[in-house]
Amino acid sequence: MTTTPAEPRTVAVVINPSKFTDVDEVKAIVAAGAARAGWNEPLWFETSIEDSGAAAGRAALDAGADLVCAMGGDGTVRAIAGVLRGTGVPYGLLPSGTGNLLARNLGLPLNSLDDAVEIALLGQERAIDVGTATFDDGEERTFVVMGGVGLDAQIMDNTDDELKKKVGWGAYVAAGAPALFKGGFEATLTIDGEAEEPTDCLMVLACNCSSVVANIELATGAVLDDGDLELVMLRPNAVAGWLGVAIDVATRNRNGLASLKQWPGREFEFELDQPVLAELDGDPVGETTRGRFGVDPGSLIVRLPVPASQIPGLTPRTAVALDDTDDTAPDPSA
């Protein structure tokens, strides 16, 4: 009996060329990895100043790609995730740039393109949640790591891209210094339909995973595949100041008299007493006075290392037990 060999599969890569000094070199590495894995020559789609990746991602789908990969910053990763959401087409991450927030939470290699390509082509598939956000303009946007208003958006907006290339996460610290001296705002939250009292705060952040900057676990316990988001509020604390925030982060204290407060849920609505800058996965998206954060559970398929059971950003899984009713199993009494 003869078997028909499987047709070679095709990977499409959406690349932000501004992230690389030698685009041809990285293309050659990806092509070599595809050849080793028995895949077709990769298809390439470039982002542009006008398009962070959504149009390129749609073009990749139209080309019939069996796998779509992102090679760019967090904005490119978010744009492609929004395109692939709900399609069932798997997503491979080839980390580039400084942030790599989703890749960090998924335990993907940040400094080896060869390893990242191998995982994208041959890795295990897991479904993760995608966050949704709506602000004053009424447009629904997506995020994979975080969406927020306040201090986080100010820091991202103030971060110098050239400084970020030189000093990495230190650029966010430099950007945060002037933002600390700006006044806060009043937020009225509704958590899964339950209204909270209006609260003075500096930041409201909806998190799809625990680590949203510099490997700091801000949204303690958050994972990417539980069907929930974690809402974190940063409140002014005149007594403890920023030392109190650091202690709250270190001790995972979120719901006492702490500077940080946290709620799990699937839908968060907020109203603000003034226009406040918003961001999604680190990209500022303008000011807003109200909005909604939601979650689309399990709507994005990502490629991960094998095994993926111990990745911190996912719900732990153990080996699958055999079905006790399986009548094909040997009879121990035989």
- Secondary structure of 67-86 as H, E, C letters: EEEEECCHHHHHHHHHHHCC
> Which pLDDT tens digit goes with each residue over 292-309?
999 999 999 999 998 755
- The pTM score is 0.84
Pick from 138, 146, 139, 132: nearest CA to 86:
132
On the CB side of 89, how many CA atoms lie within 13 Å of its CA?
23
Q: Is beta strand 43-46 parallel, antiparallel or unpaired with respect to 260-265?
A: unpaired
**Which residues, 6+ apart, have CB-to-CB distance to 129 below 8 Å?**
208, 224, 225, 226, 227, 228, 229, 295, 296, 297, 298, 299, 300
Neighbouring-strand partners of residue 125: 303
Helix (H, G, I), strand (E, B) or coil at 169: coil
Domains and CATH numbers, the chain: 11-122 (3.40.50.10330), 132-296 (2.60.200.40)
Neighbouring-strand partners of residue 271: 188, 290
User: Do residues 100 and 110 make contact, with C-beta atoms less than 8 angstroms apart?
Assistant: yes
Angstrom CA distances, 318 to 264, 307, 311, 330, stand at: 24, 10, 12, 24
DSSP percent split of the chain into helix, strand, coil, nearest 5: 25, 30, 40
Neighbouring-strand partners of residue 212: none
Number of residues that make up the chain = 334
Pick from 297, 300, 307: nearest CA to 124:
307
Angstrom CA distances, 103 to 12, 93, 255, stand at: 18, 7, 29
What's the pLDDT score for residue 241? Answer: 46
**Which residues, 6+ apart, have CB-to-CB distance to 160 below 8 Å?**
171, 174, 175
Q: Give ∠ CA 283-288-294 in degrees, rounded to 5.
A: 70
Q: What is the residue whose two structure tokens read 């004053």?
A: 136
Q: Which residues of the chain are modeled with pLDDT < 70?
A: 1-6, 157-183, 214-215, 237-258, 308-310, 317-334
Angstrom CA distances, 232 to 157, 179, 249, 286, stand at: 20, 18, 11, 20
Neighbouring-strand partners of residue 189: 270
What's the pLDDT score for residue 220? Answer: 87
What's the pLDDT score for residue 333? Answer: 43
User: Do residues 281 and 145 make contact, with C-beta atoms less than 8 angstroms apart?
Assistant: yes
Q: Which structure tokens are listed for 86?
A: 């709900």
What's the pLDDT score for residue 184? Answer: 87
> Which pLDDT tens digit goes with each residue over 30-53?
999 999 999 999 999 999 988 889
d(CA 102, CA 55) in angstroms, rounded, equals: 21
Neighbouring-strand partners of residue 211: 217
**Which residues, 6+ apart, have CB-to-CB distance to 21 below 8 Å?**
none
d(CA 198, CA 271) in angstroms, rounded, equals: 9
